[in-house]
Chain A
Amino acid sequence: MRDVNAFTKDWQALPEIGVLLACAKRCGLRIGIRGGVVRNFMLTDGSPRSLFHLVDPFSDIDCVVDDESHWPELFGSISSSISFSGFHRWEVDTRDSIMQCLDQYAKLPIERLIVWHDGKTKTEEPARIELDGLGEDPESILGSAAAIPEFDIADKHYAVMGPLNYIVDKLRFGRYILQFPNQFKIAARDIVEAGNWQESLSRKLIREKLSPVDRFRFETALLDIIANAESSNDLLEFLLMFSELMPSSLHDQSSVLNIVSQRMTSGPSSIGALVYSAGPNSRTTAEVLSRRGGATKRDGIESLIPWTPMWSIRNGFGECCRHQDFQNGVAVLSWRSMRNNKAFIDIQEADYALAAQITGARPYGRGPKDVKRQILPLPGFVRRGPSVTVRMDHAFLSAFLHNDVNFFLGLVRIEKE
């Protein structure tokens, strides 16, 4: 584990941090990073290659500012200066509001830490990095970064926030253990099984339906595990165990859990997860995908990941508005091999590009119409790991074709001169 000096030095070595410091200095403000990115930085062995490699597939970059009014200027600078920033979601909160809800969920000590990039320095001085433990000593936080706290479903805040949050917290810690098995001395299944929680959860779920927000949180917690687990065998064992533990009323309400329990026993060669909004008025959906067999060709074109069906729906504004990047937000697709843990560990991301095979398109508000079968490039960002994750601007397709577009997404190898 790093101490404060080593942490600061290694953090500054991330290629994006110099640019982030320049943005803070340019604005004369400070911006903090916290949450999953800082946790992954601390728990990853060796030196990460990029800030964006620390962003889990279905997570965002948690930012902190002193005042909400600082964010537009800071984000404007970040989005034009930091490469690939547009392919990630940046969530912002103020330090004060973080302090107010600090104890609302169980967390690792490292999840208290804010890494500030302070541009409020004197004109001739560069921006600097400071660590903030939100009232605790950063050195002691780093010393016990991965200590899993005790938590119980009878805790007061679960009575307020609902027992599903207890399960989501368990899933989170299970994910950390499956993602960084060398950093923890406990098995993921032990975390989930511990505590006498099943009866109270079942009672609650029989009485009440999950809200869409709770259901989405639960499903993305499962997808996070699928995308991040280091070992496919451990993942499969964990998912099957978890599926059996969950009450049937939860299976009924969660499509991810349903599919996990139906398909994981059939031995898929790959499993994937997709989170996106097809159009500007579409609900954000979370899907789990699976595939048997090895070939990933479609119409003769080979893809590193299985060709995945998706939609790109137009904004419905006709010609009034110019295209903007990420009109429908960022779509995230992640695939992992269940037979080879290292299938995507060593790929060179820049050797691959996203391609869309168009299978159908229809003018906005009208009936279906055939379009010439074609293949189009798509703005995308590729991240390697136990799973290969692609982030894309899928709205480009509907803007380019002036239609609602149904397509298969693949990751094709590019040719270099």
Chain B
Amino acid sequence: MLVNLEGVFGDARDNPAIEDPIVVLRHGIFGADSSLAALTSEIESHLPNATVDNRSYNWRLAVLQNGAELADHILQELDPDRPLILIGHSMGGLVCRVANVILSDGAKFDSLLPWLLPQLGYQDLIPRLQNKFSKKTNRKVNGLITLATPNSGAFLQGQVSGLCALLHVGVSAFASFQDPSIIDLTHDRLFRFLQQFSVSTPTLSISGSASSRFSALSGQATRKLASWTLKGWAGGLNLSQPNDWVVEDVSVNLTSSILPNEIVHHGRSLYMHLRAYEDCTSVTHINIYDRTSVRNHMFSFIARC
């Protein structure tokens, strides 16, 4: 059973399977394109005419830099006339949001850089990013999906370490807390940057709700949904600690954002945050893109934007 997206995003088109969108997938921290290989296959079978652009990027670099490189890649190498969907998991969702603001208004991005980056602590990026986009035509983004993305604010430092531990990342692959991407995740500079923009891209954010990241070894379990109705979660939802073991649900939802954001506060985007859906209590940070119910909601969204 799907949560009804129609109320926010409108009716689904009749036969989306014959359409030829470009679907850009970007993995999260510690990930690679292989993390999203199964999702890529699923999209290709569901949308046979689609082109899926699933690539690795250096997740240690600043999210702002990776977002700008993604926007540049889209403008340089992907067909500008085909519909474009951006899907990002965890930090990849933030990369997609940066790309989205650049594609929506490259001239504004260029004009803000010189004064904004130094006061946010991004001065190292100025030579790499300045004057790259103002002469390029803006690119419509038809839809943006963020999966378990900390959209609305900073991580705790401990969450990054917790994620390493949950992923069983080998000791030699630990992230340094001085990597620019970790700074982005644990401070507000990226969010203060994004709040300067406004976009109109339809946006769906999906969170997992498995448990608390620190509950796994203590026997503390999240209470299940007491009941489920077709219309949603009006009756009986009682998730005591909505958390996917890494990211709090409240961090995923842009309407809970402490800082105003480019999508809900400043933009005209249609926006929905999806956290209570079928089987969501077993959806964790690292399995969210492999869950059938999550994928079904993604396809339902793509068919409407």
Contact = CB atoms under 8 A, between A and B. Distances in A.
A414 B173 contact: yes
A357 to B, nearest CB: 9
Interface residues of B, number: 41
Which 5 A-B pairs have CB atoms at the shortest separation, nearest pair first?
A379-B157, A353-B174, A22-B119, A377-B164, A350-B178
B123 interface: yes
A82 B154 CA distance: 12
Contacts of A415: 170, 172-173
B226 interface: no
Interface in B183-200: 183, 186-189, 192
Given A353-B174, A417-B56, 7 more contacts: A19-B121, A82-B187, A83-B186, A322-B212, A349-B178, A381-B178, A414-B173
A185 to B, nearest CB: 37
B245 to A, nearest CB: 11
Interface size class of A (residues with CB under 8 A): 35 or more
B217 A401 contact: yes
Interface string B135-172: 00000000000000000001011101110110001111
Contacts of A82: 121, 187
B238 interface: no
A80 B188 contact: yes
A329 to B, nearest CB: 13
B174 A414 contact: yes
A393 B162 CA distance: 12
Contacts of B187: 80-83
A324 to B, nearest CB: 7
12 contacts: A15-B123, A18-B121, A22-B119, A81-B187, A83-B187, A350-B176, A353-B177, A381-B177, A382-B178, A396-B162, A400-B158, A415-B170
Nearest to B57: A417
Contacts of A393: 157-158
Question: What is the interface of chain A mostly: helix, strand, loop, or mixed?
Answer: mixed
A400 B166 CA distance: 10
A81 B188 CA distance: 5
Given A81-B189, A416-B60, A324 B177 contact: no
B119 A21 contact: yes
Interface in A83-140: 83-84, 86-87
A199 interface: no
A82 B214 CA distance: 27
A6 to B, nearest CB: 20
B165 A377 contact: yes
Contacts of A16: 121
Interface in A20-52: 21-22
A377 B164 CA distance: 7
B161 A376 contact: yes
Contact of A379 (B58, B158, B179): B158
B211 to A, nearest CB: 12
B123 A18 contact: yes
B175 A414 contact: yes
A375 B120 CA distance: 34
Nearest to A381: B177
A333 to B, nearest CB: 15
A82 B120 CA distance: 8
B227 interface: no
B236 interface: no
Contact of A353 (B123, B175, B214, B220): B175
Interface in B245-293: none
A83 B183 contact: yes
Contacts of B171: 301, 355, 375, 412
A234 interface: no
Nearest to B118: A18
Contacts of B215: 319
Interface string A387-412: 00000010010011110000000001
Given A18-B118, A19-B119, A83-B183, A379 B176 contact: no
Contacts of A353: 174-177
Contacts, number: 118
Contacts of B218: 319, 402
Contacts of B220: 319
Nearest to B162: A400
Contacts of B121: 15-16, 18-19, 81-83
A351 interface: yes
Nearest to B58: A417
Contacts of B172: 412-415
Contacts of B169: 377
A228 to B, nearest CB: 21
B141 to A, nearest CB: 27
B157 A86 contact: yes
Contacts of A386: none
A381 B120 CA distance: 20
A416 B170 CA distance: 12
B214 A379 contact: no
Contacts of B156: 323-325
A83 to B, nearest CB: 4
Given A349-B178, A379-B157, A402-B214, A18 B183 contact: no
B225 to A, nearest CB: 21
B178 A400 contact: no
Contacts of A377: 160-161, 164-165, 169, 174-175
Given A19-B121, A349-B176, A382-B176, A400 B58 contact: no
B150 to A, nearest CB: 14
Contacts of A15: 121, 123
Contact of B119 (A18, A301, A322, A402): A18
A280 to B, nearest CB: 15
Contact of B177 (A81, A84, A323, A412): A84
A414 B174 CA distance: 6
B160 A414 contact: no
A328 to B, nearest CB: 12
Contacts of B217: 401-402
B8 to A, nearest CB: 31
A353 B178 CA distance: 9
Nearest to A352: B176
